[in-house]
Amino acid sequence: MGQIEQGLERALRTRPIPSSTEARLRFLLATHRGSTRKVATVLGVSQRTVQRWVTKRSGARRPPGPLQVRAIEEAVLARWQPRVRARRRAQAEAESFVFHTRAQFGFAAPAGSSDDPRVRWITQDLPGEVARELFSARDASAGEQQQTVILARALGHAYFREWGRRAHGLHVAFSDVEFADFSIG
């Protein structure tokens, strides 16, 4: 998962996801009303394996392996705050969102202009159409590169060309993203 997708995920949540594997397993159990069988089905392991992971007896307890830890994390991410996520996504798509980034920006511009790439901190309010495009790309499993192109086009129009008032013909190259955060509402 790239910086942009991680930023989108953070913006859709209002509470942090449980950080420990044990807390994540407790969440999955609570989501499935305590059924170790249903949790096992979701994770693709046996019911007995889940029982070993969550048992209170120290001698019988077995920690999940790295592959299982990743499966647990993905299962929690998929089930964490679904209504809040839907509401925040709809709000971003209907209104706008603020994009915060530190990345390298370069330009393809007419002769006589400075087009050397350099690192910039940018905080810019972007319209809901950009949010719709980003979420559609993410839903279609578009990679980080496609999301970067969407944001470069939007930042070029909003930040560098001031919504079409200056720097006509300037094309923005957006790369080396150090961080990408989104604020909704």
N- to C-terminal Cα distance for the chain? 24
Going residue by residue through the chain, which has 185 residues, state the pLDDT in tens, using 9 for 90 and above: 688 888 998 999 999 999 999 999 999 999 999 999 999 999 999 999 999 999 888 777 888 999 999 999 999 999 999 999 999 999 999 999 999 999 888 766 556 656 667 788 989 999 999 999 999 999 998 888 899 889 988 988 888 777 777 767 667 777 788 889 999 97
pLDDT at 113: 58
Cβ-contact 8, 138 below 8 angstroms? yes
pLDDT in tens, 69-95: 999 999 999 999 999 999 999 999 999
Is pTM beyond 0.85? Reply is: no
pLDDT at 115: 61
pLDDT at 142: 86
Q: Kindly report the backbone phi and psi dihedral angles of residue 59, in degrees, each rounded to the nearest multiple of 5, phi listed first.
A: -70, -30
- Amino acid 39 reads V
Evaluated on CA atoms 93, 94, 100, 102, the torsion sign reads positive
Closest CA to 159 of 95, 92, 94, 105: 105
Closest CA to 27 of 18, 36, 40, 14: 18
pLDDT at 114: 60
Beta strands in the chain (DSSP E): 96-108, 118-127, 171-184
Strand ordering across the sheet containing 118-127? 118-127, 96-108, 171-184
Cβ-contact 115, 104 below 8 angstroms? no
pLDDT at 123: 92
Per-residue CA distances from 180 to 35, 87, 147, 174 (Å): 38, 21, 11, 12
- Neighbour count for residue 23 (Cβ, 10 Å): 12
Cβ-contact 128, 101 below 8 angstroms? no
pLDDT at 103: 86
Name the region of 163 (left: φ>0; alpha: ψ -120 to 50; beta: rest). Answer: left
